[in-house]
Each structure stands twice: as C-alpha cells, then as structure tokens.
A and B are shown apart, each in its own frame.
Chain A
Amino acid sequence: MAWKVKEEPAPGGAAPDVTPQGEHAPTGAQNIFELQAVSVRYSGNLAVKEVGFGVPTNRITALIGASGCGKSTLLRCLNRMNDLIPGARVEGTITYKGQDLYSPRVDPVQVRKRIGMVFQKPNPFPKSIFDNVAFGPRVLGMKEDINLLVENALRRASLWDEVKDRLKDSALGMSGGQQQRLCIARAIATEPDVILMDEPCSALDPISTARIEDLMNELKDRYTIVIVTHNMQQAARVSDKTAYFSVEVGDNDRRYGRLIEYDDTERIFTNPSDQRTEDYVTGKVG
C-alpha cells in the first residue's frame, strides 16, 4: 500500500518545476504537494478556479485572502475532506509525493492518516484528555505504547506540563487555547506527514496564539504545515511561503476564488509582484 510509506524528504533534491505563478522554490526543499489547475465546485457552483502551486516539504505555507475566496475549500482538498461534502467536486490534479491524490485507487481514509487537520474551532471529543490524544493511534491500530505516544504528542504540543495531572479529566473542561493545542496534539499523535490548519488561532487570545505560533515553528522540522489565516502578521511571522487568493466575479455574479500570487512570504509582504496582493497585505482592501 503506497500510502503506508513514510519517506524522508530527499535533502538537496531538485524540486520538480511544475509550479506556475513565478515560484522560486527554496533550495533544499522538495514539494510535498503539487496542485495543477485545481478547480472545486459545490453542487456545480464554482468555488475555486484553476489554482496551481507547490507546497514545500517541512515548510509552513500560508493561504491568505478575503473571506469566501476558497482557502478552506482548497485546504480541505489536500486531505480529501471535501469527499465528505455531498456535491463537492474537485477537478485538476493534486499530487502528494508524486502520487495522484484523487486517483480512484486512493483510499481517502488512508490519505487522512498521513495528512492531519486542525480546525478553526477547537473540536475536542467529549472524552478525557488522554482519550482524545489516544483516539488516532487507537483507530489506526498503532502498535507503540499508547501512554508513551500520548505523552510525546502532548509534550510536542507543549501541553504536557499543564495537563499531566488531569489526563483523565474531560477535555471540555480546558480553556479554548488549551483545547486547540490538544487538537494539535491529537493530530500529531498519529505521526502524520502534513498538518493542515484552518484558522487555528481565530478563536484564541494573543497569548494562546503566540504559543501556537511557537509550536508551529517547532513542529516545522518534522511536519509540513499548511495554514489558512486572516491574520497578516501571523502569516508574515510563521510562514515560509504565502499564497494570496482573491474573489473574482464571473458571469451571473457568480463568485469564485483565484490564486493571485504565490511566493516566498518575505517577497509577498515586502515586494509583491501583483498590485492586488500589495493592496491586500498592506490593508488597503479586504
């Protein structure tokens, strides 16, 4: 089963150059995802049109853009969460480590084992803190010692010290920031390759946000992270690459999202090549 293989990124390997939009792939990083002409429709209505870019391995890639431009939609394509929405259709190709993610032979359940997700609203299960983190490993039938797995995940999510004496307590008794870090711990407990984060800090205070940003920086050397955020400073602070999307208005007033610019974060925020990007990141629009 192809999806069981967990490879290390080939150091110094050349990035396959299939990314449009004038991308400058950082040296030493291979692209884990390649998107080509990806369009998404909900019950026939176009939501995202012909998006193409590459997500580098072990880097943080930020998706930014105004509300409704399809950031969440695109993010959910990357672990086939959109399969769960009746009427959602994905066109174009998305490859993950060179394999077509939407090939009929691919089992979406296997995909989600390798590509974890953290949601906008913290969504711990109404179970104990321990059982929340242990859920993934148990479901996947991981053979390692479960206590160890849980402890490691909680440590990496820098939550261990706060909860080590109350592992049996319900996760719902935690603060929002703790819950979100628990959700991150839950996602990394299954040892995925990629973590997709959809506005993970939007419900959190600045201190919890800072902790999660630190956490992302620490997680970066083991995981590829793709994050959707409305917070420009956050995108600038944490990400290596940034993709800017905007809403276009097509025929019949139909609105859909398009990729405007994709580049190193630094360039996007200091010297973007598209005027629309500049207007957005400097706060002139949106």
Chain B
Amino acid sequence: MKQLTAMLSAPKTAAPPAVFARQRPRYAEKLIEASLLAAALLTILTTLGIVYALFRETISFLGEVPLTDFLFGTEWHPLFNPPAYGVLPLVTGTLAVTGIALIVAVPLGVGSAIYLSEYASKRTRKTIKPILETLAGVPTVVFGFFALTLVTPFLRDIGINVDVFNGLSGGLVVGILVVPTIASIAEDALSAVPSGLREASYGLGATKYQTSTKVIVPAALSGIVAGVVLGASRAVGETMVVLLAAGQRPNLTFDMREPVETMTAFIAATGKGDIPTGSIDYKTIFAVGALLFVMTFVLNMLSNFIVGRFREEYE
C-alpha cells in the first residue's frame, strides 16, 4: 500500500531513468527503413505513370470523339469506314459476362466459405482451402480453352443452342475463376466473427444452421459483400477467357448465346495488332482502358469502403 501511494504521489515530470537512454545511433535500421520507403514509392510512382499515360491518350482521344458519343453510342467499330466509337456494346458485353460470372461465383464462393468456416472440421479445412487457392493460381488462358473446348460443347449437349463463341460459356468460366476470390475473402470475414457470438447463439439453443444464417453471416455480411465486389472487379477485368471463348463481336445484346466482345477482349485483340502509335485506333485502346480502369477502381473503392465499415461492427 505504502508503495502504491508513493508511486501515485511521485512527481510526473521526473527525468527518464538513465537505463532508457539511447546508446548509439542505429544506422542499419535507418538504411532498411529508407529502402523499404523507396520500394513503396517506386510502386506508387509506377502506378501513377500508368494512370498518366492512360489518361493522356484518353484526353487526346476525346479531342477527336465527343465524350457523349463515346459513352452513349450504340455502335462500336473503330476500324471500319466510317468508324463508330460508341462503347456501349463493349460495356454491356462486359457487364453481361460479369453478371453471369457472379451468378455462378456468389453462391459457390459464399457457400464454400460458410462450409469451410462453420461446418468443416479443421482437417477438411486444411485440405480444401489450399486446393481452392490453387484454383486462383491456374493461368487464365487454361480456363479460356476450358470454356471453348469443353463448356461450349457441353452447353450444346444439354440443349442450349450457343454459337461457337458465346458470352454464356465465357461468363460461366469467369465465374469459376472468381470463386476463390470470393470464397477466400468471405471465409476470412466469417472466421473473424468472434467465437463469443457463436457460443452465445449455441448457448441459446440455436442449431448450427440457425447460428450460421442468423448470427455469423449477418455479422460478417459487409466482409462477404466486399469479397463479392472484389470478385466482380476481377470478373470485369478478366481477359483471356473472354478473348478465347466469347468471341470478338461488339454486340449490343443481352442474349449470351451470341458472341460478345468485352472491353478487355477488345483491348487485348486490338493491342496485339499492328496499329500505328498515335493514330485514333491506337487511342481507342487507351480510352477503353481508362473507362475500364475507372470501373474497377470504383468497385475496389466500394469494396474497401465496405471492409472499413465491417471493421467497426463488433469492436
């Protein structure tokens, strides 16, 4: 007790004891800090450089094609004569493929996340999670051929009359591609739900299913949604699968049995051709790229925003 009072009444301004004094400057630490900062700056600068290049060409493109024609025009054939620069068919192609992908990926991704986090035994989880994550590492060109040579014939076998190149099989396979993204983020969100909430729910006589659907999933909802948004952003940016399987016909339709062209597929297909630098055709690539960038950027921001909100929920 006496000690305590002594501590409490001790002057707060006393000089720090000598044992805490710095003994010698730590140069190695400073050096490491500086090089880490340099690495971070380099990454940021590169990104800024890309954005700059993207928007410089885009502004120059918009000097020749009015913005409203570009955004709201319904015909896209920049290489024909006369050319048309309405990006809408590419946007709808992209959105339709993304939509199909999400129809596949959201139930599969969220479902497997719930299974892994709430139902699977530790051993099952340890086996399945790496497999799921390996799926994310398969080169997308493999998925593209999978779509073209297996999924499209399969769709025909089951009586869906698709063209050789079609948005449907592209979208389905992009969906499979996106499952690991959604599953992994959703699983993180579900496992991050404090175990106290699980115990509280079981302690009230709730079943596993009731606990998952009424407590755990709602508590992790913003994390799950963030995963879905990130998955959507991956689907929007996915290139190889749609390039190989969906065809390259800018097509203002939502009938996904037909070929469609997405924004990414256009960029890849046109970019690999021999287009003179500085020509209007060259600039279209950048314009479409900039629009794509804005779309995925908005999606990623949305996802970050939701994740940020999620953190507040049960602190």
Assess the B203–A79 pair: CB atoms within 8 A.
yes
Among residues of A, the one whose C-beta sits closest to the C-beta of B221 is: A126
**A125 to B198 Cα, complex, angstroms:** 9
Chain B nearest Cβ from A216, distance in angstroms: 17
Assess the A136–B194 pair: CB atoms within 8 A.
no
Q: Does B204 contact A (CB under 8 A)?
A: yes
Q: Does B278 contact A (CB under 8 A)?
A: no
**A201 to B145 Cα, complex, angstroms:** 62
Assess the B196–A123 pair: CB atoms within 8 A.
yes
A-B residue pair count with CB separations less than 8 angstroms: 71
Q: Which of A81, A135, A186 contacts B199 (CB 8 A)?
A: A81
Q: Does B27 contact A (CB under 8 A)?
A: no
Assess the B204–A190 pair: CB atoms within 8 A.
yes
Assess the B205–A123 pair: CB atoms within 8 A.
no
**A113 to B210 Cα, complex, angstroms:** 13
**A28 to B203 Cα, complex, angstroms:** 29
Number of interface residues of B (CB under 8 A): 22
Which residues in A have their C-beta under 8 angstroms from that of B201?
125, 135, 139
Given known A81-B199, A84-B199, contact A127–B218 (CB-CB < 8 A)? yes
Assess the A113–B205 pair: CB atoms within 8 A.
yes
Assess the B202–A112 pair: CB atoms within 8 A.
yes
Q: Which of A79, A119, A172 contacts B200 (CB 8 A)?
A: A119
Given known A119-B199, A123-B199, A135-B214, contact A186–B204 (CB-CB < 8 A)? yes
**A187 to B203 Cα, complex, angstroms:** 8
**A109 to B207 Cα, complex, angstroms:** 6
Among residues of B, the one whose C-beta sits closest to the C-beta of A123 is: B196
Which residues in B have their C-beta under 8 angstroms from that of A109?
205-207
Q: Does A121 contact B (CB under 8 A)?
A: yes
**A41 to B130 Cα, complex, angstroms:** 31
Which residues in B have their C-beta under 8 angstroms from that of A177?
none
Q: Does B219 contact A (CB under 8 A)?
A: yes
Q: Does A183 contact B (CB under 8 A)?
A: yes
**A217 to B278 Cα, complex, angstroms:** 85
Q: Does A110 contact B (CB under 8 A)?
A: yes
Q: Does A140 contact B (CB under 8 A)?
A: yes
**A149 to B171 Cα, complex, angstroms:** 50
Given known A125-B215, A126-B314, contact A139–B203 (CB-CB < 8 A)? no
Which residues in B have their C-beta under 8 angstroms from that of A79?
203
Assess the B194–A139 pair: CB atoms within 8 A.
no
Chain B nearest Cβ from A180, distance in angstroms: 12
Q: Does B122 contact A (CB under 8 A)?
A: yes
Q: Does A86 contact B (CB under 8 A)?
A: yes
Chain B nearest Cβ from A109, distance in angstroms: 5
**A86 to B121 Cα, complex, angstroms:** 8
Q: Does B269 contact A (CB under 8 A)?
A: no
Q: Does A235 contact B (CB under 8 A)?
A: no
Which residues in A have their C-beta under 8 angstroms from that of B210?
139
CB-contacts of B208-247 with A (<8 A): 210, 214-215, 218-219
Which residues in B have their C-beta under 8 angstroms from that of A48?
none
Q: Does B197 contact A (CB under 8 A)?
A: yes
Which residues in A have their C-beta under 8 angstroms from that of B314?
126, 172
Chain B, residues 140-172, CB within 8 Å of chain A (1/0): the string is 000000000000000000000000000000000
**A175 to B207 Cα, complex, angstroms:** 29
Assess the A183–B121 pair: CB atoms within 8 A.
no
Chain B nearest Cβ from A102, distance in angstroms: 17
Among residues of B, the one whose C-beta sits closest to the C-beta of A79 is: B203
Q: Which of B199, B206, B219 contacts A139 (CB 8 A)?
A: B206
Assess the A125–B199 pair: CB atoms within 8 A.
no
CB-contacts of B298-315 with A (<8 A): 313-314
Q: Which of A126, A136, A172 contacts B204 (CB 8 A)?
A: A136
Q: Which of A110, A113, A125, A136 contacts B197 (CB 8 A)?
A: A125
Interface residues of chain B, those whose CB is within 8 Å of chain A, are 121-122, 194, 196-207, 210, 214-215, 218-219, 313-314
- 9 additional A-B residue pairs with CB within 8 Å, beyond A110-B205, A125-B197, A125-B201: A84-B198, A113-B205, A116-B203, A116-B204, A123-B197, A135-B214, A136-B206, A187-B204, A190-B204
A selection of 25 A-B contacts at a CB cut-off of 8 Å is A84-B199, A109-B205, A112-B202, A112-B203, A112-B204, A113-B204, A116-B203, A117-B203, A119-B199, A119-B200, A123-B194, A123-B196, A123-B199, A123-B200, A125-B197, A125-B215, A126-B219, A135-B204, A136-B204, A139-B201, A139-B205, A140-B204, A172-B313, A172-B314, A190-B204
Interface residues of chain A, those whose CB is within 8 Å of chain B, are 79, 81, 84, 86, 109-110, 112-114, 116-117, 119, 121, 123-127, 135-136, 139-140, 172, 183, 186-187, 190
Closest 10 CB pairs of A and B: A113-B205, A123-B196, A117-B203, A136-B204, A112-B205, A139-B206, A123-B200, A126-B314, A126-B313, A139-B210
